[in-house]
Amino acid sequence: MSTIEDAKNQLGELFIIGFNGFELSDDTSAFLSQAKIGGVILFAANYDNPAQVTELIRQAQESRSGLPLWIAVDHEGGKVQRFRKGFTQIPSAETIGKANSPKLTFQISEIMATELRAVGVNLNFCPVADIWTNPKNTVLNTRTYGQTEDHVSKMVTAMVRGHVIQKVQPCIKHFPGHGDTFVDSHFVLPKVNTPIDVLQNRELKPFYKALRSHCSCVMTAHILNPTIDPDFPATLSKKTIQNLLKQQNRASPIIISDDLEMKAITDNYGLADASRLALEAGCDILIYKTEATARKAYDALLKSLEDNKLDPGIVIEAAKHVRTFKQSTLMPYEPPAMTELSTKIGIEEYKKVIEQLASEVRKQMSKI
């Protein structure tokens, strides 16, 4: 098999895709199997109740032979919690941060990860490691743990530890920091002009500390910082990913793009070019919210390989990195057990921890 054929055969491992519905359709199952897709991301539209999503995840895992799929979700708490009915309602990062208690943050993280693992989720795009440095940033304000690098670092590392202990991989986001922006990258491309020395001493600290606390996954931001790279946002920027992330950390984290369907990317760079650029920049995994777009990106990258526009070695190396990490974290694979849902999800013990957090927030607020 040629190097190009090797890369084409391994390309799907670099994809995490969304899809429609409470059940896995035959078409989606076939795509996961035939393209050897690496993982799926679930949204509120995929969720009705714990038993239903457990069965959905079982169906997804059965579509893939070999190493398990990543089963990913955005489960931050507050307004970003895809699974609600039956699950413990997790407070926002802003609320958790106000309690100023790493111990409670760790306990809440364990609750989150325990419930997710019970239904079969193994990758959570959480915690948000951004610092809310811009009061006019209403996109991330309630999703961040605070306004200083030390406070955010303290909360983020506690959140990371709870997930790791409960065997759900946390993914810190949005590197190199989204807290100083004014606009939402779902719709437009945010731009910041934060100097690198300021980034090193402020925005990047929570990310670096989380990586030293055994966080192994980082999600990139669709933001343009001309002081780092005048041409490309972080997700597509070699200068950002190589210089600020890979070379600054002894560990070799799995680098995951934010959703490449966001208009910040598609309106400025196009789907095909952006997908190729993200891999060339150093992303190991690409996220696509919808299956239709994922299929287009997959076909475009196959063509890029065939036309010698994408170095097959990049694909092969990234796939090896992802498979090695899966082997160390997802094996041996243990399917979720329906019989355990009632003892691990939404139990009273968890609610008491949430109440304790609310009490601590009131106590902290009374000191102001």
**Strand 75-77 with 70-73, pairing:** unpaired
Catalytic residue among 186, 214, 273, 311: 186
Vertex 213 angle, CA 78 and 320, to 5°:
95
258 is catalytic: yes
Catalytic residue among 130, 229, 258, 284: 258
| Residue 330 and residue 254 in contact, taking contact as beta carbons nearer than 8 Å | no
Contacts 24+ apart (CB under 8 A), 347-350: 347/88, 350/88, 350/111, 350/115
CA distances from 36 to 10, 12, 16, 232 (A): 7, 5, 11, 29
Contacts of 274 (CB under 8 A, 6+ apart): 235, 236, 260, 265, 266
In sequence order, what are the beta bridge partners of 255? 218
CA atoms of 235 and 221, how far apart (whole Å):
6
186 is catalytic: yes
CA atoms of 50 and 29, how far apart (whole Å):
21
User: Strand runs (DSSP E) across 111-213, as ranges?
Assistant: 123-124, 169-175
Q: Which residues are catalytic?
A: 186, 258
